[in-house]
Amino acid sequence: MRNLKLVLRYDGSRYSGWQSQKHDENTIQGRLTVLLERLLGETIELAGSGRTDAGVHALGQVANFRTKSDIACEKLFAELNRYLPEDIAVVSVQEVPFRFHSRLNAVRKTYRYRIWNSPVHNVFERKYVYALEEALDEEAMRQAAANLCGTHDFRAFSSYRRTKKSTVRTLENITIERQGSELILTFTGDGFLYHMVRILTGTLIEVGLHKKNAGEIKEILASQDRERAGFTAPAQGLCLVCVEYGN
């Protein structure tokens, strides 16, 4: 038995997210699993580093599965890219230690959110950015971002209604960078809750629009109340950039 690790990139525009669903076969995990089972002739349990939502993209999603097959990694890499649809690609296939798990062993993830901040439409990349015409106070957004960094209970920034699992996470860094008409928000942390990056982004946008102020962030965190945080930013602006693992 072998354990194989895949690094993937995909355009999530036409998919119902990463995770397979009983009544919806149009998922990234579902498409990959069906193809792997066809190529390898066995039942495959494909684990992903995390669940990207419907419409969310990835540059560096990581998955792994165990197989009895002795197929060479190079051959599987070629076969997967031959048969996958053009909006899903395998970047690498690698044999890893049997105990490796793409989700449980992840120590850090980085997400990027792109805001097209201009009255002129971004015609060619409209599926990958959130279009917002109003001017944003970037300095206020950076102040709010600084208040979000660190180890906190991020329950207010999650769409979980009820959960027994811990909602404490460490947000290592948030950068806000302007490149012409585009504002790029980058989030790095040890893990993210359901919709967390999109709610963080929506909250920072509301600060940038002066609908909230940077000083409210600590109060929102302490409240653990989803209603106190900002809106959930649209999925198309979000991309999973990379997943990191310890030695």
CA gap 212, 175 in Å, rounded: 19
225 is catalytic: no
Q: State the DSSP code for 86.
A: T
Contact 65, 45 (CB under 8 A): yes
Nearest to 229 by CA among 149, 159, 128: 159
- By the 10 Å C-beta count (0-12 exposed, 13-18 middle, 19+ buried), 99 is classed as exposed
Contact 153, 171 (CB under 8 A): no
Q: Which one is catalytic: 24, 53, 190, 225?
A: 53
CA gap 204, 194 in Å, rounded: 17
The amino acid sitting at 65 is F
Read off the tokens for 174: 């948030």
CA gap 186, 56 in Å, rounded: 15
DSSP-assigned letters across all residues of 145-184: HHHH-EEEE-GGG---SS-SS--EEEEEEEEEEEETTEEE
Residue 186's alpha-carbon distances to 36, 51, 183, 242, in angstroms, are 33, 18, 10, 11
Angle between helix axes 196-208 and 138-148 (nearest 10 degrees) is: 140
Give the residue numbers marked as catalytic.
53
